[in-house]
Structure formats: C-alpha cells, structure tokens
C-alpha cells in the first residue's frame, strides 16, 4: 500500500491506457491514482456523477473489471529539489537509473521509486534567520548541487508567514525538516529541501518582462538570421532525416542557457539511446566540465505507454519553471511535440471524443497554446529575473508543413526554423531554410546586438537576406535559359549567395573551430561577405569582370575563414577585410 492512498472506485471498463471507473467517491479532476493490485500509476481526467475516466501511464495488461482504484488526494505532481540536475527521468519523473538497479531490462509495472534520492545529504547554507517574515518564492538558503548549479531552496509559492525555526548550516536529506513556518492563520507548516508542484499548473510569477536578450547558440544561421530571445518560443519542423534531433542537441551543448532540459517525447529508441550515451560524454564549453552538470534528461520512447508521452511535456516544463524561479535561464528542448499531439489523438479516440482535423482532438490548439504560454522572461516572486525558452521540434508526416500540429504551433510561436530536406540531402547542416524560416524577435534584440557588435549588424543582415531572396528569382531564370544568359551583375549575385551559404550558413559540427561561433566572429564574417558583395557590384559596374573577382586571392581566404580563424583571436578577420579592401581598390583602379 502507498501512503495516503484510499479506495475511490472500481474498474468498470478497460480500453488500452484509458480506464472507466464506477462507484467514484471523494475524487477530483487530475487526481493522482493507482489502479489494480499492482498499483499502476494514472491520472483522473474526466468525472461524471459517480463514474470517471482515468488515463494510465503504464501497460494495463492484466487489469480486470472490479479491480480497486486508489486515490492519492493530490494532483499528479513532480518533486522539485536538489538531485534533479544530471538525472535521467521517464515521462512521469521516475529516475531510470535507479529503476535499472532494482528491475530487469524492462521497467516493471507498478514500480514506485522516489524522484529524488532520499538518502543523499546536501550541504545547506541558510540565507535567512529565525523570526524573519518570508513569502512564496523567497530563498531560504542554498545547496551546491553541481559545480555549475547553485540550487536555491525556495519557500513554496503559496506560503507566507514567520519563520519559527530554521536549521543551522549543515548536511540534510530532502526529507529533513529545515524550517517551520507560522502561517497567517496561526497554523504551522514544515518546509523541506524539496517541494511538490502539479505538472499541469503554471508556477506563479510577479510579471512578464520584455524579451530583449538573445539566446546565443553559436549556430550562425540561427544567431544571425533567425535569432530567438531568452524566454522565447521556437518551432523546428522537418521531415525524417532533416536534422531536428541533431540541431536540438547542438543547441543543448552550445547555447548560453544556465539549465538544459531535454525531453525525448515519443522518439525512436535508438535516438534516445544516442542522447543518453552522448550527453554524459559532452563537455560544457563554458565550464570545461560534463554537460550533464547543467542538464536534465526526460526519456520517453515511442514504445513506452502513450499516456506517459503526453505527461512528459508537462513534467519537463514544470522543472524548467522551478529553476526559472531561482533566477536561472532555462532552455527546454521538446523532441518532438508531434508525438505528444499523436498521444492526445489516441487518448481522445479511446475516450470517443469528436475528432477534428486529421483525427486530432478539437482542443489540440488549446493544449499547444497552454504549453508554449509557459515560456517567457519573468520577474520571479523574489524579484529576480529568470526565463524559460521552449524549442519544440515538430515531425510533420512527409515534411508537409500544412498539417495541423505545425499550423497550430505557428500560431503560438514567434520563431520558426524550417528544416529543408534538399539541404539535408546536400549535407548542408544545419539544414534550416533561409526562405521559409523567420524570427519575430529581431526588433526586440536589435539594441542588444548593436551594443555588442556594432550598429552595422542589422543593415548587413537585411542586405544579405535581400540577396538570398533575389537569388531565388534569378535561379528560376537560370533554369530556363542557363547562367550564361545573365549579365555579370546578376551572376555575381548568385556567386555571393553561394559563398554566403558555404562560408557562413553551413557549419561543421565535427570541426573544433567551426562547431561554435561567437557573435563577434559571426558579425565580422557577415560584414566581410557583405563588403565583398558591395565592392564587387561596384567593380562590375565600373567594368570589372566576374572572372577577375573570382581570381582574387582573398576570395579563398573568405571561403575558408570559418575554419581558419579562432573565436579567441579575431584579428585574422580584420586582416582578411583589409586585404579585401586593397584587392578591390586595385581592381577598380584598373577600370577607372
């Protein structure tokens, strides 16, 4: 038996992970329940007089009518406290490594393991004192969870009162009482290093803040062309093999978020295995230590119960909000929300609800909106500033961006990184299309970029985007009459765009120099290519030929600069720009 459980009804009908219950007494919506003698974990999702519907997060094989259903008296919640960082969980926050130690190669049904290690002691350093008035979100003290993460122990959001007692600095488990709070109604409440929070309830904050600081990823096509602000929302749609998972893993490694939460939602087992084996080996470029010291992994493969896939998204975003409340910038990688939507569709079908477009439930847009709404840059209850950035991958069948999940997601996000199969087939990575992608954060972060790299960044970006769109129109002409029919001025546009794609947009994740670019390097590289375009167009107008422009020695320097110039020493880019200016001056002098 599980503590605080009580029988609230009996099984009436089993339909896969959806179970109808009869004789319901003393139950509430979204209550955590256990089904049958094996105590399969589930959630109550529908109430109707004395009957209810439960979605079970485990295989329901063997459940029979009249089996008991137990209620927990609380909603499905996650445990929040020291020990989360570096852990691999399933969709309902069960630690998979702990389960492996007590189970066979498969997760046993009904297995119950605490989400946080109950035996490990953490060194707690109080930051308040007895007699202080504390409120929800206030920091009671700190715990050094990893070298990268100073875990702040917070007063639960809804609590407010006077500290009657507080432990001194020392080592405590997550179940040890660290403080006693005298509430306004004179009741006492004990506080621990951990707290619980319902996964479907958004954690409160003071207010939303402007999103004017970009999330730096080190990927040039993202940071320069389609940037996202900290606290923003991103959709990465793409068909099979276009590099969604690879892009998200690169972002997880290189982005400047304080905490990374990677949700493998319904992906294939081999992809999740790659994540679980590769992430612990990755080195955090900012600290030189393991990337897992600032990462939480949620593994929910496609062969796991479909309802747990639906819950995993909420589990991950609740963890992200908890670290945001500590003043951290958190990046959530959801891979992929299409599998989550498919779980909604299957559960809705089993509940015999009226289907909408392509069989998805009518409330799909609402669920998508509720998820992305939990992103944002916030002023926390303790007047700190933190953010949650959501980067959600979408896997449209056949790469069709007109399908419902992609279309509904586009309504609620402000940054769209469309993956192109043709680019992926050409081994151009990241395979983000510069024609279909967009970002609405440019105006918000323009002032930040101008302060960091100079005023010319936005003008350079605008000019190169105009050239890329002009190239599309010229390519249509080339397909009809061939490139030789174009004048040199138009052929030079094609030349510049090809150079930009190969020397700037394409990025080699296996090259130590090219795998990551600072914003200073990106801005200088972009300016060199734009300068080549401007000066080259002027030279052609004065009579220079395209062949002479191609034969300039500095052209090869520009083409290779992403491999040859280190992030730490950008003087090489200044030298390339100076050589470019001299070469153009000499070329124009010949045609004066």
What pLDDT is attached to residue 2?
47
CATH value at residue 129: 2.40.50.100
Taking the alpha carbons at both ends of the chain, their separation in whole angstroms is 92
Q: What is the CATH number of the domain that holds 265?
A: 3.40.50.300
Place of tokens 């590099």: 243
**What span, in angstroms and rounded, lies between the C-alpha atoms of 282 and 278?**
6
116 within a domain of the structure (yes/no): no
pLDDT for position 4: 64
Distance between CA 211 and CA 218 in Å, rounded?
19
Residue by residue, DSSP assigns 162-195 as EEEEEPPSEEE-TTSEEEEEEETTS-EEEEES-E
Residue 3 pLDDT exceeds 80: no
- Per-residue confidence (pLDDT) for residue 475, from 0 to 100: 92
Domain assignment present for residue 205? The answer is no
Rounded (10°) angle between helices 244-254 and 269-278: 20
- Spatial contact of 365 and 407, defined as CB atoms under 8 Å apart: no
Which residues, including other chains, have CB under 8 Å from residue 331's CB and lie 6 or more apart?
215, 251, 252, 255, 257, 259, 260, 261, 389, 391
Per residue in 279-305, pLDDT tens?
A: 777 777 777 788 888 999 998 887 778
Bridge partners of 6, per DSSP, are 71
Site of tokens 């060194």: 123
| 413 lies in the same domain as 338 | yes
274 with 333, same domain: the answer is yes
The strands making up 133-135's β-sheet, listed across from edge to edge, are 133-135, 160-166, 177-183, 188-192
Q: What is the CATH number of the domain that holds 553?
A: 1.10.1140.10
Helices and strands (H and E) in the chain: how many = 16, 26
What does pLDDT average to over the chain? 92
What CATH number is attached to the domain comprising 42? Answer: 2.40.30.20
Residue 160 scores a pLDDT above 70: yes
Same domain, 458 and 432: no
- Residues paired with 301 in a beta bridge: 267
In a domain, 378, yes or no: yes
The answer to whether residues 459 and 432 belong to one domain is no
Cα-trace Rg, the chain: 28
Structure tokens given for 439: 């970002």
Q: How far apart are CA 266 and CA 244, in angstroms?
A: 14
Residues 163 and 368: their CA atoms lie apart, in Å, by: 40
pLDDT above 70 coverage of the chain, percent: 99
* 13/58 same-domain check: yes
Q: 234 and 366, same structural domain?
A: yes
Cβ atoms of 188 and 363 closer than 8 Å = no
Boundary (domain end) residue, out of 406, 441, 476: 441
Domain final position from 398, 415, 441? 441
Q: Which residues, in sequence order, are CB contacts of 238 under 8 Å at separation 6+?
A: 244, 393, 394, 395, 396, 399, 418, 419, 420, 421, 424, 431
Residue 428 shares a structural domain with residue 370 = yes
By residue range, what is the domain housing residue 186? 121-193
d(CA 320, CA 95): 17
- Per-residue pLDDT tens over the stretch 116-148: 999 999 999 999 999 999 999 999 999 999 988
In a shared domain, residues 257 and 402: yes
Phi, psi of 235 (to 5 degrees): -115, 130
Report yes or no on 485 lying in a domain. yes
Residues 43-81: pLDDT tens digits? Answer: 999 998 899 999 999 889 899 999 999 999 899 999 999
Q: How many CB atoms lie within 10 A of CB 577?
A: 20
The residues facing 332 across adjacent strands are 261, 390
Q: What is the pLDDT of residue 161?
A: 93
Q: Is residue 372 part of a domain?
A: yes
- In-domain check, residue 94: no
State the pLDDT at residue 276.
77
Question: What are the backbone dihedrals phi and psi of residue 35, each rounded to the nearest 5 degrees, phi first?
Answer: -115, 130
- In the predicted model, is pLDDT for residue 373 greater than 70? yes
Q: Are 319 and 432 in the same domain? A: yes
The pLDDT-based confidence of 186 (bands split at 50, 70, 90) is: confident
- Quick one: what percent of the chain has pLDDT higher than 90? 74
Q: At what angle do helices 519-541 and 553-564 cross, to 10 degrees?
A: 170
Of 587, 570, 588, 585, which is closest to residue 526 (Cα–Cα)? 570
Tell whether 98 is covered by a domain.
no
Report d(CA 240, CA 256) in Å as an integer: 28
| Res. 523: pLDDT tops 60 | yes
Best CA proximity match to 232, nearest among 244, 214, 217: 214
Give pTM, 2 decimals: 0.94
- Residue after which a domain boundary falls, among 393, 409, 441: 441
Across residues 463-478, what is the average pLDDT? 94
Residues 183 and 273 in one domain: no
Distance CA 91, CA 303 (A): 12
- What pLDDT shows up at residue 26? 85
DSSP 432: B
CA diameter of the chain: 95
Residue 411 pLDDT greater than 50, yes or no: yes
How many domains is the chain built from? 4
The answer as to whether 403 is a domain residue is: yes
Supply φ then ψ for residue 263, to 5 degrees.
-110, 110
Report residue 496 as tokens. 């510049």
Indicate whether 217 and 284 sit together in one domain: yes
Q: What is the 3-state secondary structure (H, E, C) of 365-430?
A: HHHHHHHHHCCEEEECCCCCEEEEEEEEEECCHHHCCCCHHHHHHHHHCCEECCECHHHHHCCCCC
Residue 100 — pLDDT band, cuts 50, 70, 90? confident
Tokens of 240: 């099979």
Tokens representing 129? 């004192």
Q: Residue 3: how many CB atoms within 10 A of its CB? A: 5
Q: Are 497 and 548 found together in one domain?
A: yes
């Amino acid at each position: 038996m599980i503590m605080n459980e009580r029988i609230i009804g009996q099984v009436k009908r089993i339909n896969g992970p959806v179970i109808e219950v009869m004789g319901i007494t003393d139950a509430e919506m979204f209550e955590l329940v256990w089904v049958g003698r094996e105590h399969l974990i589930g959630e109550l999702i529908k109430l109707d007089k004395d009957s209810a519907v439960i979605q079970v997060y485990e295989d329901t094989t063997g459940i029979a009518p009249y089996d008991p259903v137990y209620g927990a008296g609380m909603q499905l919640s996650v445990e929040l406290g020291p020990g989360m960082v570096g852990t691999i969980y399933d969709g309902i926050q069960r630690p998979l490594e702990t389960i492996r130690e007590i189970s066979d190669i498969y997760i046993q049904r009904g297995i119950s393991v605490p989400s946080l290690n109950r035996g490990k002691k953490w060194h707690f350093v109080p930051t308040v004192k007895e007699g202080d008035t504390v409120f929800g979100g206030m920091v009671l003290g700190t715990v050094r969870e990893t070298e990268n993460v100073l875990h702040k122990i917070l007063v639960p959001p809804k609590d407010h009162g006077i500290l009657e007692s507080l432990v001194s600095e020392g080592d405590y488990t997550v179940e040890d009482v660290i403080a006693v709070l005298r509430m306004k109604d004179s009741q006492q409440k004990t506080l621990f290093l951990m707290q619980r929070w319902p996964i479907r309830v958004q954690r409160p904050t003071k207010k939303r803040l402007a999103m004017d600081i970009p999330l730096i990823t080190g990927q040039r096509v993202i940071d320069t062309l389609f940037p996202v602000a900290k606290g923003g929302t991103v959709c990465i749609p793409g068909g099979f093999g276009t590099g969604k998972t690879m892009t998200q893993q690169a972002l997880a490694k290189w982005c400047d978020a304080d905490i990374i939460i990677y949700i493998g939602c319904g992906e294939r087992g081999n992809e999740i295995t790659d994540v679980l084996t590769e992430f612990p080996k990755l080195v955090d470029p900012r600290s030189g230590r393991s990337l897992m010291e600032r990462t939480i992994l949620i593994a929910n493969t496609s062969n796991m119960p479909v309802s747990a896939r639906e819950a995993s998204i909420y589990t991950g975003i609740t963890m992200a909000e908890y670290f945001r409340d500590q003043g951290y910038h958190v990046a959530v990688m959801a891979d992929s929300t299409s599998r989550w939507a498919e779980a909604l569709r299957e559960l809705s079908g089993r509940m015999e609800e009226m289907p909408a477009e392509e069989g998805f439930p009518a409330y799909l847009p609402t669920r998508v909106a509720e998820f992305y709404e939990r992103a944002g840059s916030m002023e926390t209850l303790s007047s700190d500033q933190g953010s949650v950035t959501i980067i959600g991958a979408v896997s449209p069948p056949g790469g069709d961006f007109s399908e419902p999940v992609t279309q509904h997601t586009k309504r609620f996000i402000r940054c769209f990184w469309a993956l192109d199969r043709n680019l992926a087939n050409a081994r151009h990575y990241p395979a983000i299309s510069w024609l279909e992608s967009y970002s609405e954060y440019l105006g918000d972060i323009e002032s930040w970029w101008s302060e960091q790299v100079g005023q010319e960044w936005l003008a350079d970006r605008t000019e190169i985007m105009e050239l890329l769109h002009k190239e599309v129109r010229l390519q249509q002409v080339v397909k009809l009459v061939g490139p030789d029919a174009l004048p040199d001025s138009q052929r030079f546009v094609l030349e510049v765009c090809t150079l930009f794609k190969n020397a700037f947009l394409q990025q080699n994740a296996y090259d130590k120099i090219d795998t990551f670019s600072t914003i200073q390097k990106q801005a200088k590289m972009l300016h060199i290519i734009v300068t080549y375009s401007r000066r080259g167009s002027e030279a052609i107008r004065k009579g220079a030929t395209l062949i002479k422009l191609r034969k300039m020695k500095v052209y090869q320097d520009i083409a290779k600069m992403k491999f040859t110039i280190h992030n730490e020493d950008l003087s090489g880019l200044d030298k390339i720009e100076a050589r470019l200016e001299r070469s153009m001056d000499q070329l124009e002098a010949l045609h004066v």
